[in-house]
Amino acid sequence: MKTFIAAKIQNIRVTGKSIDYAGSASICPLLMKKAGIEPYEQVTIVNLANGQRWITYAIEAEQKGDFLLNGGAARLGEVGDRCLVFTYVTSESFNGARVLFTNHQNEVERELEYPL
């Protein structure tokens, strides 16, 4: 068995932070659905502004377009930072991945399916 990328959200922008929250990343429910990310699923986040990379879990945000860093992750980025969100799957072979490219309002402006 190997671990492969399953989904990626490219250039999602941080819209808020909450250090007092117990943890996780709050992601717009529309983006989660399009990417195939389930609530409480493990995600890897990369902050393109500062190079920070961490693993947490996804929960649905309350507002369309929201991407919030919660708990300790709130220290790893600032509002407006562009990030990547990845999910992975363990399988014997690569079965494809969905990639969403977002604009400044965290709306999908382009979608790709790998392999191309």
Map out the domains of the chain as residue ranges.
2-114
Pick the CATH number of 2-114 from 3.30.1330.30, 2.40.50.70, 2.40.40.20, 3.30.750.24: 2.40.40.20
- Look at residue 2 in the predicted model and tell me its pLDDT: 96
Beta-bridged to residue 90, according to DSSP, are 3
Residue 23, pLDDT > 90, answer no
Confidence (pLDDT) at 116? 60
Answer yes or no: 18 catalytic: no
Residue 21 has pLDDT above 90, yes or no: no
| pLDDT tops 90 at residue 115 | no
pTM higher than the cut 0.85:
yes
Q: Which of 24, 26, 40, 91 is catalytic?
A: 24
Catalytic residue among 18, 21, 57, 88: 57
Mean pLDDT of the chain: 96
Whether the per-residue pLDDT at 18 is higher than 90: the answer is yes
Q: Is 26 a catalytic residue?
A: no
- For the stretch 57-105, pLDDT in tens is 999 999 999 999 999 999 999 999 999 999 999 999 999 999 999 999 9
